[in-house]
Amino acid sequence: KRCPVRTPPLLHCYILNWDPDMTTAKVLLVDDEEAFVISNAKLLSKRGYDVRTALEGRTALQLLAEQEVEVVVLDVKMPGMDGITVLTEIKKRFPLVEVIMLSGQATFEAAVEGINLGAGDYLMKPCQITELVRKIEEAREKRKINEEKRRYLGKTGKDGP
């Protein structure tokens, strides 16, 4: 069966036991390193995640506007629109979307800046798939809590996250 990965042309991923009815986290991988995106999309898809990919920031924002995404895994350093700019736009336009920043050693300070701007967490590259999965699950739980808070506050007429 073909998995639900939405990717640029030629970036495809196949898994054997994908069940279209199962509830999976909807993840968007954003990185200009195509090999990183392809390999991690495959690995996450094999673990049951519904993965979309973007090789640059503008495409990521377009995908977020068109499709439901729970967690964005976002590289800090990209040509054109960098990760910090993309993060700022995500938090302004899609406040419930959780963001995990990816950082190389040279951009650690930018990852910390991302946390200050609303990213839920960060990972240093290269990262192990088990660590990425753990961070995605933590982000997904945080999103569920924020959604519940928003529903509750909406019922009580108070402002929320």
Q: How far is CA 139 from CA 9, 104, 142, 145, 146, in A?
A: 28, 20, 5, 10, 11
Query: Reduced to 3 states, what is the DSSP secondary structure of residue 122?
Result: strand
Q: Residue 20: beta bridge partners? A: none
Kindly report the average pLDDT of the chain as a whole number. Answer: 84
Q: How far is CA 87 from CA 81, 146, 152, in A?
A: 10, 18, 26
The predicted-structure confidence for 43-59, as pLDDT tens digits, reads as follows: 999 999 999 999 999 99
List all residues 6 or more positions away from 140 whose beta carbon is below 8 Å from its beta carbon.
25, 70, 71, 98
pTM: 0.80
